[in-house]
Copies of this chain bind each other. A is one copy, B any other.
């Protein structure tokens, strides 16, 4: 047995709806021997499927994507595969997105305008179990948690399906339309919506739509 320890490269899955951007990230990450890009996906849904199949160490995830956003995908994957570290790589500088990403289990938050070097450092860092945030982000988060410190008792997370339904509601679709899109009965949509309203302590779909928009789900 050799005394040299051969490290297995960190496997990375890219989830972003822009093929061109993916290619850029791919080029940057592939230039580093400690990292290996094992797959790509172009929306949250595909991302979840790929993650299940590939079981990557790190997922680089965009937030704003068609079909299923990065936030929703993060919710799903955190529950399913807690070993897998999710690093948000997004254009959004909105505080709301940052808070939600962290709340839903992301291990880091990078803006797309970062330097190539930075992204490599971030991948290595989250792979090793650390969290990657800029100091200004960390400050924002601390302030946020302090201000809602004791209140957090009742908050229940939405299930993936509920998140999906909520998206369509926010886009102005009726229950019947949503049922048609998701191939389920209108009754089921109504049940989902009722559960959503109960969990969010809200009164009707318009209020829930506002919530969804603010959370960046649409």
Instruction: Report the copy number of this chain in the oligomer.
Output: 2
Which of A123-131, A142-150, A206-214 touches B? A206-214
Q: How far is the CB of A205 from chain B (nearest CB, A)?
A: 5
Proximity string of chain A (14-30) to chain B, C-beta cutoff 8 Å, 1 when within and 0 when not:
00011111111111100
A18: chain B residues within 8 A (beta carbon): 21, 24, 91, 112-113
Q: How far is the CB of A198 from chain B (nearest CB, A)?
A: 14
24 A-B pairs with C-beta separation under 8 A: A18-B24, A18-B113, A19-B115, A20-B24, A20-B25, A20-B116, A21-B21, A22-B24, A23-B24, A23-B25, A23-B27, A23-B116, A24-B24, A42-B113, A170-B206, A170-B209, A172-B203, A172-B204, A172-B206, A205-B205, A206-B209, A207-B209, A209-B210, A213-B213
The CB with the most chain B CB atoms within 10 A, among A115, A116, A213, is that of A213
